[in-house]
């Protein structure tokens, strides 16, 4: 059972050790700008803090308010997002910014935030707690791990976790508690080799008392990832390469790309193949064969090869383009 002063000890640890991040306010300071909280939470979905920090700074320098982002062209936002992955987030970001701008302000409750594009239960809870001080638990994998270990549950329900976090929140600032839990999970209560000796909650932690903290929560067996195949065409002319924009819906929707085939189960071996890049998505991996093609395919544009880094290619197509550009350079040198 978590003792009454556990939340206080957790907050004191946070005050002494909090991470200085560009979207945060220090402990006990006025609540941060909800635009910055929202933007950071969307960027941090499935992406590390280290990867997000420089991209966040670029975003807010270019679009410092939600109104500025709402007025931006879709193509510009998608281009700026390139490399962060999970591109449905970028499309939802645009839609959400426009809806918030039309409302005139961010909604201040988790229930209202949850109704906006791209905002699920965790993100709504985090924004409401951090930016507006609502006692709304934000439950993700990391928080679930902390609570599972505290209570010694191998597989706690979402309701159990939410009730435990709400109990902790009732004693301290909801925003500080939410961020303290995030920092605890990142720096101390990690999935492997947790640092129980320096944890402010170790006296209350059932997993620590068991001597096997890594056993909590019980891990689900991973299913093997499917491996579909595709082809990307490299069409080069006068120092330029032909690019297209992917359909707005589906994987990598709306992003710049090399034209190519659908992704299918059977391996494809086109003539003029240059090489293959493998890219791992959340639920599957993809082998993309890059091949030369003499004529452009689909509606698109000629992008100077020397400015490919500014085309907004997602990682998959950036790697494919780098492979093809390198092969072309080698080919010209040998001619």
In Å, what is the CA distance from 130 to each residue of 34, 79, 109, 120, 123? 8, 29, 11, 15, 10
State how far Cα 272 lies from the chain centre: 36
The helix (run of H) or strand (run of E) holding residue 157 is: none
Domain-located, residue 211: yes
The range of the structural domain enclosing residue 190 comes to 6-215
Residue 258 DSSP one-character state:
-
Domain end point (choices 162, 183, 215) = 215
Helix (H, G, I), strand (E, B) or coil at 141: helix
Residues 256 and 296 in one domain: yes
The question of whether 134 is a catalytic residue gets the answer no
- The predicted structure's pLDDT at residue 214: 96
Helix (H, G, I), strand (E, B) or coil at 177: helix
**Distance, first Cα to last Cα, the chain:** 74
Domain end point (choices 215, 245, 279) = 215
Q: Specify the CATH number for the domain of residue 199.
A: 1.10.340.30
- The predicted structure's pLDDT at residue 116: 98
Residues 57 and 204 in one domain: yes
How many whole angstroms separate alpha carbon 225 and alpha carbon 286?
10
How many whole angstroms separate alpha carbon 15 and alpha carbon 114?
29
Residues 308 and 199 in one domain: no
Q: Which of 41, 214, 265, 329 is catalytic?
A: 41
Residues 324 and 273 in one domain: yes
- The predicted structure's pLDDT at residue 331: 86
Residues 211 and 236 in one domain: no
- The predicted structure's pLDDT at residue 5: 86
Residues 186 and 234 in one domain: no
Residues 194 and 284 in one domain: no
Q: Structure tokens of 222?
A: 């991973």
Domain-located, residue 87: yes
Residues 103 and 185 in one domain: yes
Q: Specify the CATH number for the domain of residue 252.
A: 3.90.79.10
- The predicted structure's pLDDT at residue 1: 47
- The predicted structure's pLDDT at residue 268: 80
Domain-located, residue 29: yes
Long-range contacts of 276-279 (CB under 8 A, 24+ apart): 277/316, 277/319, 277/320, 277/323, 279/315, 279/316, 279/319
How many whole angstroms separate alpha carbon 205 and alpha carbon 214?
12
Tell the burial category of 149 from Cβ atoms under 10 Å away from its Cβ (0-12, 13-18, 19+): buried
Taking the model in full, what pTM does it have?
0.87
DSSP string, 196-223: GGG-TTGGG-HHHHHT-GGGSSPPPPPP
Q: How many domains, in total, are found in the chain?
A: 2
Q: Which residues of the chain have pLDDT under 70?
A: 1-4
């Amino acid at each position: 059972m978590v003792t009454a002063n556990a939340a206080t000890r957790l907050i004191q640890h946070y005050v002494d050790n909090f991470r200085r991040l560009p979207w945060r306010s220090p402990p006990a300071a006025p609540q941060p700008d909800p635009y910055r909280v929202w933007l950071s939470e969307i960027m941090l979905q499935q992406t590390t803090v280290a990867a997000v920090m420089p991209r966040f700074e670029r975003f807010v320098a270019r679009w410092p308010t939600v109104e500025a982002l709402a007025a931006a062209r879709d193509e510009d936002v998608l281009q700026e997002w390139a490399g962060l992955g999970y591109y449905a987030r970028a499309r939802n970001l645009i839609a959400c910014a426009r809806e918030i701008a039309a409302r005139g302000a961010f909604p201040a409750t988790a229930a209202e935030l949850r109704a906006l594009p791209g905002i699920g239960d965790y993100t709504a809870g985090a924004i409401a707690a951090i930016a507006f001080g609502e006692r709304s638990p934000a439950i993700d994998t990391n928080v679930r791990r902390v609570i599972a270990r505290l209570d010694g549950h191998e597989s706690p329900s979402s309701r159990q976790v939410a009730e435990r976090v709400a109990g902790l929140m009732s004693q301290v600032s909801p925003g500080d508690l939410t961020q303290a839990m995030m920092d605890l999970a990142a720096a101390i209560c990690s999935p492997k080799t947790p640092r129980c000796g320096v944890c402010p909650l170790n006296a209350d932690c059932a997993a620590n008392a068991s001597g096997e903290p890594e056993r909590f929560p019980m891990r689900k067996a991973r299913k093997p990832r499917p491996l579909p195949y595709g082809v990307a065409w490299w069409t080069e002319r006068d120092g330029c390469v032909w690019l297209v924009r992917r359909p707005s819906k589906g994987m990598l929707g709306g992003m710049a790309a090399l034209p190519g085939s659908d992704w299918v189960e059977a391996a494809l071996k086109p003539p003029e193949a240059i090489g293959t890049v493998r890219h791992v998505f959340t639920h599957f991996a993809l082998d993309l064969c890059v091949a030369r093609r003499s004529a452009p395919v689909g509606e698109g544009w000629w992008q100077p090869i020397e400015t490919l880094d500014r085309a907004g290619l997602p990682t998959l197509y950036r790697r494919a383009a780098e492979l093809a550009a390198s092969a072309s350079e080698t080919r010209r040198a040998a001619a």
